[in-house]
């Protein structure tokens, strides 16, 4: 009995000295991989999210961010997520596609045409997409529009026939977009990102589709001096955790962690929109020519894609997802 009383006394003493005592929860560390450099909008936002997680959980949950692609390509990162070598990642449309191919349907060329359409589609279809991603063992934390893919070229491009005369550089990481353009009759040349400028200078390629922010950062507009005003496709990104990591986070913190992360994601979205506009203005001051496409010319692009889509559904893009998005867009456009 004396030993039992002494043991209880020790427990009480520990609790008085340190209220969290021996019952304190073990600290949870979540390692997150990102391809984005730390000195970008994404990098700064991820550091803020890390601080928010610590504040919400009183330091019990640490989000440790690995910037600058140090964890490897998106394919590498996804494999590491599956074996829990890392627990979270920023993935773009290409990486998300490896989890749930339905997501890539949102990037069908000339399908979703502006920010309002994208917002309407995402609001309607996100729960279904997230359910499919969750069923594969992942937890969706946030979605972010990372900008719009545009056409850049060495000569003016206003209509499809202008582009079909040119050799178009394409990333090997986006076989779906490559196949879509091939089906429409374009000359597609796979080029690694680091070789794009060399390929443009040597005339191996004469055009490419890419985010204006990336084109500005890589100085590609010095050779590809023309940008077509038409949006090709939205470029999506998001933060995803493996299911094991999500369960490790104490339940009482999850809702607030998600809420604060989504608030910062909305700020990223606005920042990227502004950054994209600033990139275009900066490039224009240094010689970029923006070729404004008329409504009639825009319709030629849309019709070109519509003629090709039947051969792409079920092979390149998910048929059911395409049909659902098409109904959403048809309804939205009818009310404008």
CB-CB contact of 52 with 261 (8 Å): yes
Q: Can you read off the two tokens belonging to residue 323?
A: 């049909």
Give CA–CA dist 312/300, Å, rounded: 19
Give CA–CA dist 63/308, Å, rounded: 44
Q: Where are the beta strands (DSSP E) in the chain?
A: 28-33, 61-66, 88-92, 138-153, 167-170, 187-190, 207-210, 226-242, 289-291
Give pTM, 2 decimals: 0.82
CB-CB contact of 169 with 196 (8 Å): yes
Q: Name all domains of the chain by residue range, CATH numbers in brackets.
A: 2-334 (3.40.190.170)
Question: Which of 321, 80, 109 has its CA nearest to residue 232?
Answer: 109
Task: List average pLDDT for each run of 10 residues in the chain, which is 336 residues long.
Answer: 46 43 68 88 91 96 94 90 95 88 91 94 93 93 88 97 95 80 91 88 95 88 97 91 95 96 89 89 96 97 93 90 96 92
Res 146: pLDDT: 76
Strands 187-190 and 207-210, by their bridges, are unpaired
Q: How many CA atoms lie within 13 A of 163 on its CB side?
A: 29
Q: Can you read off the two tokens belonging to residue 281?
A: 């203005």
Widest distance between CA atoms in the chain: 93
Q: Give Rg (Cα) of the chain.
A: 24
Give CA–CA dist 219/274, Å, rounded: 19
Q: Can you read off the two tokens belonging to residue 141?
A: 């934390």
Res 94: pLDDT: 83
Give CA–CA dist 91/35, Å, rounded: 8
CB-CB contact of 276 with 68 (8 Å): no
Q: Quote the Cα angle for 99-174-264, to 5°.
A: 60
Estimate the crossing angle of helix 41-56 against helix 251-285, to 10 degrees: 160
Tokens 């990037």 correspond to what residue?
107
């Amino acid at each position: 009995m004396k030993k039992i009383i002494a043991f209880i006394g020790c427990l009480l003493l520990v609790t008085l000295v340190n209220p969290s005592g021996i019952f304190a929860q073990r600290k949870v560390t979540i390692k997150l991989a990102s391809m984005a450099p730390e000195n970008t909008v994404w990098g700064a936002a991820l550091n803020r999210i890390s601080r928010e997680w610590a504040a919400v959980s009183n330091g019990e949950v640490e989000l440790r961010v690995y910037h600058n692609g140090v964890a490897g390509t998106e394919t590498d990162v996804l494999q590491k997520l599956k074996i829990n070598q890392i627990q979270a990642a920023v993935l773009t449309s290409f990486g998300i596609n490896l989890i749930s191919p339905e997501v890539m349907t949102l990037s069908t060329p000339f399908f979703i045409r502006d920010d309002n359409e994208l917002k309407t589609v995402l609001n309607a279809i996100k729960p279904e997409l997230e359910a499919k991603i969750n069923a594969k063992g992942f937890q969706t934390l946030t979605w972010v529009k990372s900008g719009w893919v545009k056409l850049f070229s060495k000569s003016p491009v206003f209509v499809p026939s202008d582009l079909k005369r040119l050799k178009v550089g394409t990333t090997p990481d986006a076989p779906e977009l490559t196949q879509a353009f091939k089906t429409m009759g374009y000359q597609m040349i796979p080029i690694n990102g680091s070789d794009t400028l060399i390929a443009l200078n040597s005339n191996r390629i004469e055009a490419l589709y890419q985010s204006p922010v990336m084109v500005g950062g890589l100085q590609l507009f010095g050779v590809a001096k023309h940008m077509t005003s038409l949006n090709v496709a939205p470029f999506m990104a998001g933060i995803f955790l493996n299911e094991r990591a999500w369960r490790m986070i104490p339940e009482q913190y999850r809702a607030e962690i998600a809420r604060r992360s989504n608030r910062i994601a909305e700020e990223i979205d606005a920042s990227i929109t502004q950054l994209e506009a600033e990139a275009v203005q900066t490039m224009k001051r240094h010689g970029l020519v923006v070729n404004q496409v008329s409504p009639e010319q825009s319709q030629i692009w849309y019709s070109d894609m519509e003629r090709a889509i039947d051969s792409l559904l079920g092979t390149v893009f998910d048929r059911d997802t395409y049909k659902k998005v098409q109904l959403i867009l048809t309804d939205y456009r009818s009310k404008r």
